[in-house]
Every structure is written in structure tokens, then in C-alpha cells.
């Protein structure tokens, strides 16, 4: 009896229940030229796919799980399953991993004192090694994104501030005609807000469309994280509004004559 994963079920038993079907374990022939020995095994269950090569693998590897009772070893070469001369064991505990080594060694000695224990590491080490290249790529993407965000904030502030500054003479004329300085500031901020919101909308649409390009580099994280999109958009809008408010505030505090001369 064996258990298969969903990837193997989808490949060899599409659109059907694989439980009850049989698969053949193909052992190599004992002598060259002979036919291989086929041992038929019944499928008794299907389990979810588990990453076996990397955390973000595009396609899961079809896997078949056999009980240890049919595994082969140095003293039992005629059985069906895989070779168990070298096996990996997982120890789960709330204690520190390195402090478990003496207890694990004693447990192994209780079974067979001649068995060697090698390559002891934590599951965190395994995960870190499997995701090292992905983590390095994500660090580069994070740095590039941070620099892009900083340059965007500087660019938005500079452009919006310049647009308001060149309207200083217009602000002076409005003040000379009796306009309320607070009303002038609100008008400048409102007009700048319309431009900023339009740009933010276009930017969010482009980000959502381009998120698919980095989806293969992510594991357990959506490329369209609402919190990140909202936070980034809010930051850029705040910068744009500040860039409108400060020059408008300075200009509205100037006398109409000074504002007209600034052109």
C-alpha cells in the first residue's frame, strides 16, 4: 500500500479518484538483459503537494510514499521500497536544537550503536538554504523599490512645488483683487490634489498589472498586497499635497506687490 501526492494523481489519474488503483514499483533487473521485476502496489490515499526542491518551485514533483516495512536495506535487498541505508529523521521539540543531540544519540544507540549520525541541522537551516537565492533576489528588489519610492517622492515634491511656485504672480493678483489667502491656499491644494490623485490612480493600475512579473519570485506573499499599495499611495499623495501647501502658504503670506515682483 502506498500514498501519492496530488501532483502524481493529476499526472497519471486526471479527473478520477486514484484511491484503489495500482502502480508498479520498477526495480532494476538482477542481471543485465533480464526483464525488470514489477511489484504492484495499491494506492490508499492522496496527500497535498509539498515543496521538495525549492520553496517557490513552479511545478510540484510527483511523489509516492511507501511504508518502511517494504523498504530495502543492506540486509534486505529483495524488498520493494527505496533504499534506507541513508535516511533523514525529523525531531520535534520545544528545547534548543543543539541540546537534543545527546538524547538523539542515545536513542539511536538503543536501536543500533553502529549507526552513524551525520549532517545534523535545524529545519530553519534547511529553509534558509533552500530560499537563499530567492532571499538575495528579494533583497535586491526591496532595495530597488525603496530607491524608486524615494526618487518618486523627491520628483513629485519637486514638480508640484515648481508648478505652485511659478503661479506666485497669479496668487499675488488674486490677493491684490481681495481674495482670501486661506481660500487661495485651498484652491492650490485642491487643484494639486486632482493631479496627484490622477497620477496615483495610473500608478496603482500599472503596479497591479506589473505585479505578475515578480510573482514567480515570491513565496507565501501576494504581489498585490493591499497594505503595501495603500501605504505607498498614501505616502506619495501626502508628499504631493505637502508640495502644494508649502509654496502656496509662503506665497499667500507675501504682500501682493512682492508676489507680483517675484515673476
Could you tell me the pTM of the whole model? 0.53
Q: What is the pLDDT of residue 110?
A: 83
28 — pLDDT class (breaks 50, 70, 90): low
46 — pLDDT class (breaks 50, 70, 90): very high
Stretch among 2-6, 85-89, 242-246 having the lowest mean pLDDT? 85-89
User: pLDDT tens for residues 181-236?
Assistant: 888 888 888 888 888 888 888 888 887 777 777 666 665 666 677 888 888 888 88
Given a cut of 80, whether residue 154 has pLDDT beyond it is yes
User: pLDDT tens for residues 63-97?
Assistant: 888 877 776 655 555 555 666 666 777 888 877 77
Residue 50 half-sphere exposure toward CB, CA atoms < 13 A: 9
Residue 170 half-sphere exposure toward CB, CA atoms < 13 A: 11
Given a cut of 70, whether residue 148 has pLDDT beyond it is yes
Averaged over 10-33, what is the pLDDT?
Answer: 80
53 vs 140 pLDDT, higher one: 140
Contact present, 218 and 57 (Cβ < 8 Å): no
Distance CA 244, CA 238 (A): 10
The alpha-carbon radius of gyration of the chain (Å, integer) is 34
Q: What is the pLDDT of residue 149?
A: 84
Q: How far, in whole angstroms, is CA 9 from its chain's centroid?
A: 27
Amino acid at each position: 500500500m502506498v500514498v501519492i501526492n496530488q501532483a502524481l494523481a493529476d499526472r497519471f489519474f486526471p479527473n478520477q479518484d486514484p484511491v484503489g488503483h495500482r502502480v508498479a514499483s520498477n526495480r532494476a533487473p538482477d542481471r543485465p538483459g533480464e526483464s525488470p521485476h514489477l511489484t504492484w502496489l495499491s494506492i490508499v490515499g492522496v496527500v497535498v503537494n509539498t515543496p521538495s526542491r525549492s520553496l517557490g518551485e513552479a511545478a510540484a514533483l510527483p511523489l509516492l510514499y511507501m511504508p518502511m516495512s517494504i523498504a530495502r536495506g543492506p540486509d534486505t535487498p529483495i524488498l520493494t521500497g527505496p533504499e534506507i541505508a541513508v535516511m533523514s529523521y525529523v525531531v520535534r521539540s520545544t528545547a534548543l536544537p543543539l541540546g537534543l543531540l545527546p538524547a538523539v544519540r542515545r536513542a539511536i544507540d538503543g536501536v543500533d550503536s553502529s549507526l552513524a549520525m551525520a549532517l545534523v541541522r535545524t529545519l530553519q537551516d534547511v529553509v534558509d538554504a533552500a530560499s537563499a537565492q530567492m532571499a538575495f533576489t528579494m533583497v535586491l528588489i526591496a532595495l530597488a523599490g525603496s530607491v524608486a519610492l524615494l526618487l518618486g517622492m523627491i520628483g513629485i515634491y519637486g514638480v508640484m512645488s515648481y508648478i505652485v511656485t511659478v503661479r506666485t504672480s497669479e496668487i499675488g493678483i488674486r490677493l491684490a483683487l481681495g481674495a482670501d489667502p486661506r481660500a487661495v491656499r485651498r484652491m492650490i491644494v485642491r487643484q494639486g490634489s486632482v493631479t496627484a490623485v490622477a497620477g496615483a490612480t495610473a500608478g496603482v493600475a500599472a503596479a497591479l498589472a506589473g505585479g505578475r512579473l515578480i510573482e514567480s519570485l515570491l513565496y507565501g506573499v501576494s504581489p498585490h498586497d493591499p497594505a503595501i499599495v495603500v501605504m505607498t499611495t498614501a505616502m506619495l499623495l501626502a508628499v504631493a499635497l505637502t508640495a502644494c501647501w508649502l509654496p502656496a502658504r509662503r506665497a499667500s503670506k507675501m504682500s501682493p506687490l512682492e508676489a507680483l515682483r517675484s515673476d
